[in-house]
Amino acid sequence: MASFRDIRRRITSVQNTEKITKAMEMVAAARLRRAQQRIEATRPYALNMLEFIGQLVRYIPVSGTEYPLLKTHKEVKKVTIIALTADRGLAGAFNANITRRAFELVDSYKAQGIDSDLVILGRKGFSTARFQGYRVDKAYLDVTDRTAFLEAQAITAGIIRRYTEESIDRVHLVYNRFKSAMEQYVDEQVILPIQEELTSLYTPEGASQHMDFMFEPSPEIVLSELLPSYIEISVYRAILESMASEQGARMTAMRAASDAAGEMIDELTLAMNRARQYSITQEILEVVAGADALAG
C-alpha cells in the first residue's frame, strides 16, 4: 500500500493538472466565441457572391462543358484530398477523426488503382501523415484567422490549375463541421467539379428576364473568375468551421479532463485517509502488543 506521503504528493500533482485543464477550457471557450463571430462575418460576402453567380449564370447559359470547373471528367485517374486539421492537439479526437477519414479515402482510391494527392492544413495532420507514410503534396502550417483566406486562396489556386489542365479529376474536402460548442462532426464534400446546385440556378425563364449588364472585360471572363471565388469562399468557410470546431472539441476535452481530475482527487483523498488510519491503527496495535508483553 502506498504511503500517506506518496499519496499526498500525487494529490498535489493531480491538482496542478486540474488547474491547467481548467485554464485551457476557459481559453478555448473565449476563442470559440471569436471563431463563431468569424463565421458569422463571412455571411454577407458569401450571400452576395452566390447572388452574383446566380445572376450571371442566368445571364450566360452555362452548358456543362464550357467552364472547366463545372465539367465532370469522364474517367477519374487522380484525385486531391484536402484535409483540415489543427496545429495543436489536446482536443479529443478532433485531429484523429480527420486524418483517419482522409487516409481511408486515400486507401480506398488506391484499392481502385487511383492515385491521390494530400493537401493538409495544420501541423497535427502534417506530422501524422508523414509518420504513417502518406505522401503530402502540400501543407499549410500555423494558419490563423487573419491568414485563413490567403490559405484558402492558395489551396484553391493549386487545385483549380490542376483541375483545369485535367491532371486531377476530383477534389474532396474533409473537415470538422461546426454544429455547436458540444457537437462537431466530420464532413466530407466533393468541391470539384462544382456540384449542380450552381448550374441549376440557370433556368430558361430566368434568362428571358436578364438585365442588360455591361461587362468589364467580358461576361465569359467574369464568370470564369467568379467560379474560383466560389471555391475559395467554400474552402475559407470550411477552415473557419474547423477552427471553431477545434476550440469546441478542446473545451469539451478539457472539461472531461478537469472532471476526471476532480474524481481522481476524491479517490486519492479517500485512499490517503485510509493510509493514515492504517498507520495509526498499526501504531496502536504495536503499543498494545508491547504493553501486553511487558504485563505478561
Q: For the segment 157-176, give every residue that binds other proteins (CB under 8 A).
A: 157-158
For the chain, how far is it from start to end, CA to CA, in angstroms? 33
Q: How many residues bind other proteins (CB under 8 A)?
A: 40
**Closer residue to other proteins (CB): 42 or 164:** 42
d(CA 250, CA 24): 8
**Closer residue to other proteins (CB): 54 or 262:** 54
The answer to whether the CB of 212 falls within 8 A of the CB of 57 is no
d(CA 241, CA 233): 12
Kindly state whether residue 230 participates in binding other proteins, applying the rule CB under 8 A: no
Q: How many CA atoms lie within 13 A of 77 on its CB side?
A: 8
Kindly state whether residue 215 participates in binding other proteins, applying the rule CB under 8 A: yes
Kindly state whether residue 202 participates in binding other proteins, applying the rule CB under 8 A: no
Residue 109 CA to chain centroid, in angstroms? 22
CB of 22 to other proteins, least distance (A): 30
Kindly state whether residue 217 participates in binding other proteins, applying the rule CB under 8 A: yes
Kindly state whether residue 90 participates in binding other proteins, applying the rule CB under 8 A: no
**Closer residue to other proteins (CB): 4 or 236:** 236
CB of 4 to other proteins, least distance (A): 46
The residue among 121, 120, 114 whose CA lies nearest residue 168 is 114
- Binding segment (CB under 8 A) for other proteins, from list 80-88, 198-206, 209-217, 269-277: 209-217
Kindly state whether residue 140 participates in binding other proteins, applying the rule CB under 8 A: yes
The residue among 73, 67, 70, 71 whose CA lies nearest residue 222 is 67
- Hey, what's the cell of 265? 482527487
- Hey, what's the cell of 105? 479515402
d(CA 185, CA 249): 10
- Binding segment (CB under 8 A) for other proteins, from list 23-31, 152-160, 187-195, 247-255: 152-160
Q: Which residue has the cell 454577407?
A: 44
**Closer residue to other proteins (CB): 52 or 202:** 52
The residue among 115, 110, 119 whose CA lies nearest residue 82 is 119
**Closer residue to other proteins (CB): 27 or 141:** 141
**Binding stretches for other proteins (CB under 8 A):** 38, 41-42, 44-46, 48-49, 52, 56, 123, 126, 138-141, 147, 149-151, 153-154, 157-158, 211-217, 219, 221-222, 225-226, 229, 232-233, 236
